[in-house]
Amino acid sequence: MKITIIGTGYVGLVTGACLAELGNDVFCLDVDQKKIDLLNSGGIPIHEPGLEEIVARNRAAGRLRFSTDVAASVAHGTLQFIAVGTPPDEDGSADLQYVLAAARNIGRHMKEFKVIVDKSTVPVGTADRVAAAIREELAEREAKVDFSVVSNPEFLKEGAAVEDFMRPDRIVIGHDDSHGGQRARDLMKLLYAPFNRNHERTYWMDVRSAEFTKYAANAMLATRISFMNELANLADRVGADIEAVRQGIGSDPRIGYSFLYAGAGYGGSCFPKDVQALERTARQYDQELLILRAVEAVNDRQKHILGRKVVARFGEDLTGKHFAVWGLAFKPNTDDMREAPSRVLLRELIERGATVAVHDPVAMHEAKRVLELDLGTAKLARVRFTDAPMDALDDAEALLIVTEWKAFRSPDFEEIKERLKHPVILDGRNLYEPDLMTGVGIEYHGIGRSV
Ligand code: NAD
Ligand code: UGA
C-alpha cells in the first residue's frame, strides 16, 4: 500500500520503517530539513534498537523515502498518518498546532480520497478538528474530495519501539460509520492484516473511544508507578522491602507484575504530558480527575527522592562534595532526555554546591545539550562526562544510580569500593540486593528497601 507518514520523529520513523519492512511503499515527511538530510545520508536521528538496520534495508529497496516536499507527500499515500508531536501547551493541554498544520497541508493538496490516520496522541474530539481543518482547506479551493479521519493511537515504548510495533499487544482503530469511514476501515484492515495473522489483535471502535483509550492507558500505567512509589516511601519508614511487596502483589493475576517498579519517578515525553492533558480535558468538561492530580504530584516529588537521600546522608550544603551519577536517559535503551529524573537530581546537586561526574551508555551527547539548557554554561562546567562508568567514581562521596541500564547490573563492586571516596550507593532503580551489598561492604540505599 502507498503510505505517507507526516512527522518523522520517534513514532513516525518507527511506523514508517516497520510498515516499509512489511512491503508497503512509504513516504516520510518532516519539516525539519536537517533530520531529512541526515536520514537521506544514511544517518539516524534517534537511538532505537534495531531501527537503523530496518531503515537502511528499506531505503535500499526503494520502499522508504524521506522528504520535506509536502505536495509530493500528500500525492503519495492513500493513507496519510499524522505522527507529529503534541507537546503540552502552557496550561498543560495538548498543543494541536502541528496536528492541525499537517491536516491543513493535506486539505490544501489532496486530489482524491484519503484516509487521515491520527497516530499522534490527541485529546478526544481531535479527529473532528482535523476533519474541519481539511474541509476548510477544500472549501477554500472549491474542491470536492472525499476523505475519512480515523484514530489509530500508538502504544510503543521507546527502547523497544521496533519490537512493540512489530508485535503489538493490540491495535486500536476508531472510525465512523459513514461511507468514507467504511472505506477507511477496509483499508486499515488490509494494512494491519499481517499483524493479525495468528490471532486478531485489532479493536475496532468509535473515534472518540479510540482517542480516549490512549490517554486511559498511559494514565493507568502512570498511576501504577506513582502508587508504587508512594508505597515504597512508606516501606522505607515502616521497615518493609518494596521489592518483596511487588512480587507479593504482582503474583495476583488481577494486579500483574508489569509497571510496578518503584524508582526515581517516571519521565519521558509521554506519561508526564499525557497525564496533564487528560486532567486538562476533564477540567474542560467540569470534572476534576483527583487521582491523576495525585499521580502527577507524587511523581514530581519522587523525582527529588535521590536528592533527598543525598541530603539526608551528606547534609544540605554540598559545597566541595563530589558525586558520581550513572544513567541520564529517562529509561534504558534510549538517548531521550525528555523529563528525565536525572535532570532534577543534577540541578539539585549543582544548586547545593556539589560537582558531579556522570556516565550514560548512549545519552551523553543529548544530555550535554539538554543540561546546558537546564544549568547554563557556567554550572555545566561542574558536570564531568566520563566515557566509562567506572571513571565517574573517582573521589566521589557516593554513586547515585538514576537509569537501570543493563551494563550497570553486574559491576565490579570491589572496583567501585576502591574508586569511591566512601563505599556508598544510592540506587534510584533498585538494581542490587541490599543484603548482597552489605556482604561486599557497601552502604546501600535503594527505594523502599530499608529492611
Ligand atoms: P517527535 O518530536 O519525536 O517527532 C515529531 C516530528 O514531527 C518532528 O520531527 C517534527 O519536526 C515533525 N513535524 C512537526 N510538524 C510537522 C508538520 N507539519 N509536517 C511534518 N512534520 C512535522 O515526537 P514523537 O515522540 O514521535 O511523538 C509523536 C506523537 O506520538 C506524540 O503525540 C506522542 O505523544 C505520541 N507517541 C509518542 C511515543 C514515543 O514513545 N515517543 C509513543 C506513543 C505515542
Ligand atoms: C510509555 C508507554 O509505556 C507506551 O505504551 C506509550 O506508547 C508511550 O509512553 C507513549 O505514549 O509515548 P515510554 O514513555 O517510552 O512509553 O516508556 P516506559 O517504559 O513506559 O517508561 C516511562 C517511565 O516510567 C520511565 O521513566 C520509566 O523509568 C518509568 N517506569 C516504568 C517506572 O518508574 N516503573 C515502572 O515499573 C515502569
Q: Domain of 255: which CATH number?
A: 1.10.1040.10
Tell me if 147 is assigned to a ligand binding site.
no
Ligand nearest to the CA of 257: 2
ipTM of the complex: 0.98
Domain boundary pick from 254, 281, 301: 301
N- to C-terminal Cα distance for the chain?
Answer: 58
Number of domains in the chain: 3
CA-nearest residue, atom 1 of ligand 2: 157
What's residue 105's pLDDT? Answer: 98
What's residue 38's pLDDT? Answer: 98
What's residue 115's pLDDT? Answer: 98
Separation between Cα atoms, residue 289 and residue 270, nearest integer Å: 18
What's residue 368's pLDDT? Answer: 97
Residues 42 and 96 in one domain: yes
Judge whether 211 lies within some domain: no
Domain boundary pick from 180, 204, 228: 204
> Which residues, given as ranges, of the chain have pLDDT below 70?
451
Ligand 1 atom at minimum distance from 99 CA? 18
Say which of 270, 295, 337, 396 is annotated catalytic: 270
Separation between Cα atoms, residue 132 and residue 119, nearest integer Å: 18
Residues 265 and 379 in one domain: no
Domain boundary pick from 245, 267, 301: 301
Ligand 1 atom at minimum distance from 153 CA? 44
Separation between Cα atoms, residue 175 and residue 14, nearest integer Å: 23
Q: What CATH number is given to the structural domain containing 394?
A: 3.40.50.720
CA-nearest residue, atom 33 of ligand 2: 266
3-state secondary structure at position 150: strand
Residues 77 and 8 in one domain: yes
158 lines ligand 2 (CB under 6 A): yes
What's residue 198's pLDDT? Answer: 86
Residues 132 and 153 in one domain: yes
CB 260 within 8 A of CB 224: yes
Active site residue 270: yes
One-letter identity of residue 16: G
Structural domain of residue 411, as residue ranges?
A: 303-445
3-state secondary structure at position 240: coil
Judge whether 450 lies within some domain: no
Query: pTM of the predicted model, to two decimals?
Result: 0.96
121 C-alpha to ligand 1 centroid (Å)? 9
Separation between Cα atoms, residue 307 and residue 382, nearest integer Å: 17
